[in-house]
Amino acid sequence: MKPSKGGYKSHLIYSVGIIIITFLRQAVCLENGLARTPPMGWLSWERFRCNTDCENDPDNCVSEQLFQTMSDLMITDGYAAVGYEYVNIDDCWLEKFRAPNGKLVPDRKRFSSGMKALSDYIHSRGLKIGIYEDFGNFTCAGYPGIIGHQYSDAKQFAEWNVDYVKLDGCYSLPQDMDAGYSEFERILNSTGKPMIYSCSWPVYQIYAGIQPNFTAIRTHCNLWRNFDDIQDSWASVESIIDYYGNNQDIIAPNAGPGHWNDPDMLIIGNFGLSYEQAKTQFAIWSILAAPLLMSVDLRTIRPEFKEILQNRKIIAVDQDVFGIQGRRIYKHKGIEIWSRPIAPLYQTYYSYAIAFLNRRTDGTPSDVAVTLKELGLISNTGYRVEDLYENVDYEILYPTTKIKVKVNPSGVVMLKAEVQTNRINQLLVKKLDFFSALN
């Protein structure tokens, strides 16, 4: 519809207003408006590492074919349909030296069509592309880092239409990171191409004994690593769960729409986790509001692991609109309870995702019995409780109701408790809305 003259005027005022607000937001906190919920996608590192041997291992080397194949499978096998969107290249995509003009060069053999062609391929599937670089002199695997080339590298990523940049921190000084990581965020923004910015800033500072400035980190980064690289084992997953539980008072408050803690990739479907353990990683990562970055061979993943990765109910917990990171609220004799406030909210009462985790190794499922009140669920309107892995509906339960679950060793039971709205109040609100509309 063509706007009227007055319409043009108000449209102009509106547009100027938006420009001013956008400018102010950028000047105050450099928000790039991205990652309102934790990013979801696929990342090569944990599963494919730095395999550059395309001659002997063409199907598994880090190459354009690998990323094309994974993009195709993300579509055909239903991952994109449940929210996985980014196809992220990790280390080892580069030539060992820059071009004479200083530009980064993707490996000439393994990425022979060039990065723009791969980016176009991924975008043509409706997906987005992520790339890896390093704040220091070299990437962790020894390829050229961005130091001294920040402007031209950011411009290069924008020209390749990159949507996501992971900036690692090997071969750099942790005390330079406050300035360096925030500067690169400004440079990325100045390209005009929106790019999610994934930082390793806090983890390297923590290793160096420096207390990270999380206020700055969450202002400049969309996500960041706090702890060790994940490895293909339950011990590694447990160590990450413990780190996030033990340090939750410092870590959890920093998460929110646009800025997330990154406990590292999902290793579900690889060699190291049992079925129960894979369910646990997915449940706890969703409680942690973690980025869901699968690092698995989508060509050979077993159906039961694929089913975990595509569990829409648990993905919805991870992607909850409030973006509040959950916490460990109980830990005793190998039993843990993790809880996350989620939508819908009724008055001051949140709904909750609850994960009961059994860390015991005595080989038999453990019973856990607890009242809703003990879990902090105190709304007298009650909660509709359902199991997010099994098809069990507990129907409406009240704060004094005791619920009992059986949790398998190294496994979880994951529940959602949706707060019920008081019907009489709802009718009142509707009536008030009706009268205020009349006035």
**Please, which of residues 222-241 interact with ligand GLA by CB under 6 A?**
229
Q: Is residue 185 part of the contact set for ligand GLA (CB under 6 A)?
A: no
- Span of 79-87, 136-144, 278-286, 424-432 interacting with ligand GLA by CB under 6 A: 136-144
Beta strand 128-134 pairing with 164-168: parallel
Q: Is residue 45 part of the contact set for ligand GLA (CB under 6 A)?
A: yes
Q: Is residue 141 part of the contact set for ligand GLA (CB under 6 A)?
A: yes
Catalytic residue among 53, 57, 59, 229: 229
If the CB atoms of residues 206 and 370 are measured against ligand GLA, the closer one turns out to be 206
By CB atoms closer than 10 A (0-12, 13-18, 19+), residue 256 is middle
Q: Is residue 314 part of the contact set for ligand GLA (CB under 6 A)?
A: no
Q: Is residue 349 part of the contact set for ligand GLA (CB under 6 A)?
A: no
If the CB atoms of residues 272 and 334 are measured against ligand GLA, the closer one turns out to be 272
What residues contact 425, with CB distance under 8 A and at least 6 apart?
A: none
How far is it, in rounded angstroms, from Cα 413 to Cα 368? Answer: 10
If the CB atoms of residues 139 and 277 are measured against ligand GLA, the closer one turns out to be 139
Q: Is residue 262 part of the contact set for ligand GLA (CB under 6 A)?
A: no
Give me the residues paired with residue 78 across strands.
none
Min CB(334)–ligand GLA separation in Å: 30
If the CB atoms of residues 135 and 383 are measured against ligand GLA, the closer one turns out to be 135
Q: Is residue 91 part of the contact set for ligand GLA (CB under 6 A)?
A: yes
If the CB atoms of residues 141 and 251 are measured against ligand GLA, the closer one turns out to be 141
Q: Is residue 304 part of the contact set for ligand GLA (CB under 6 A)?
A: no
What residues contact 141, with CB distance under 8 A and at least 6 apart?
A: 50, 91, 92
Min CB(289)–ligand GLA separation in Å: 19
Residue 168 annotated among the catalytic residues of the structure: yes
Q: Is residue 320 part of the contact set for ligand GLA (CB under 6 A)?
A: no
Q: How many residues bind ligand GLA (CB under 6 A)?
A: 9
Q: Is residue 199 part of the contact set for ligand GLA (CB under 6 A)?
A: no
Q: Is residue 336 part of the contact set for ligand GLA (CB under 6 A)?
A: no
Q: In this chain, which of 64, 107, 153, 168 binds ligand GLA, going by CB under 6 A?
A: 168
Q: Is residue 90 part of the contact set for ligand GLA (CB under 6 A)?
A: yes
Q: Is residue 133 part of the contact set for ligand GLA (CB under 6 A)?
A: no
Residue 318 annotated among the catalytic residues of the structure: no
Catalytic residue among 153, 168, 318, 320: 168
Cβ–Cβ < 8 Å for 84, 41: yes
Q: Is residue 385 part of the contact set for ligand GLA (CB under 6 A)?
A: no
Q: Is residue 418 part of the contact set for ligand GLA (CB under 6 A)?
A: no
If the CB atoms of residues 131 and 317 are measured against ligand GLA, the closer one turns out to be 131
Q: Is residue 164 part of the contact set for ligand GLA (CB under 6 A)?
A: no
If the CB atoms of residues 90 and 107 are measured against ligand GLA, the closer one turns out to be 90
Min CB(140)–ligand GLA separation in Å: 3
Cβ–Cβ < 8 Å for 86, 129: yes
- Span of 139-147, 277-285, 319-327, 392-400 interacting with ligand GLA by CB under 6 A: 139-147
The residues of the shown chain that bind ligand GLA, judged by CB under 6 A, are: 45, 90-91, 132, 139-141, 168, 229
Catalytic residues: 168, 229
